[in-house]
Structure 1
């Protein structure tokens, strides 16, 4: 099972300008949505995005970061 630190660290490695884990970049498992809830502020906008666990796991495990990259790339 992934941890919030795993997912946050991977997001930070791809998008370091999104903030720092535990400060302005918060990642937690959302049981109601069965997905990772990612809260961050980018260019003055507060954003909550839900990341599918399969995409997060594939990226953290080094398989592919396409899903995570596309999802967060849209905020740039």
Structure 2
């Protein structure tokens, strides 16, 4: 399947449901200059931008979790959702 921003975002959300659980915004786009996919997580004033290699993006679409992305998401949640109440679901 061809990688598009919509299907890559959807697949990432299916692998990492904590993004939705903690009401974190996720946007995905392809950066032509970097020749890579860019995933941006944001929650209030906090943001994390991470690069996804095209091969990793294709593997994600094919059902293989991207370990690097999972680590980044986990760190974002740990930093901005674990200690305070701002990311807690009411």
- Normalising by the smaller structure, the TM-score range is 0.7 to 0.9
Matches within 5 A, 1:1-76: 1-19=2-20, 24-42=25-43, 45-62=46-63, 64-67=64-67, 68-76=69-77
Point out 4+ residue stretches in structure 1 off by more than 6 angstroms.
Answer: none
**What secondary structure does 1:27 align onto?**
strand
The structure with the largest alpha-carbon Rg is 2
Unpaired segments ≥5 residues, structure 2? 78-90
Determine the C-alpha separation between the residues in 2 that align with 1:52 and 1:39: 14
Higher relative contact order by CA 8 Å / sep ≥ 6: 1 or 2?
Answer: 2
**What value does the CA root-mean-square deviation take over the aligned residues?**
2.4
**What secondary structure does 1:40 align onto?**
strand
TM normalised by structure 2 equals 0.63
- Higher mean alpha-carbon deviation, 5-14 vs 38-47, is at 38-47
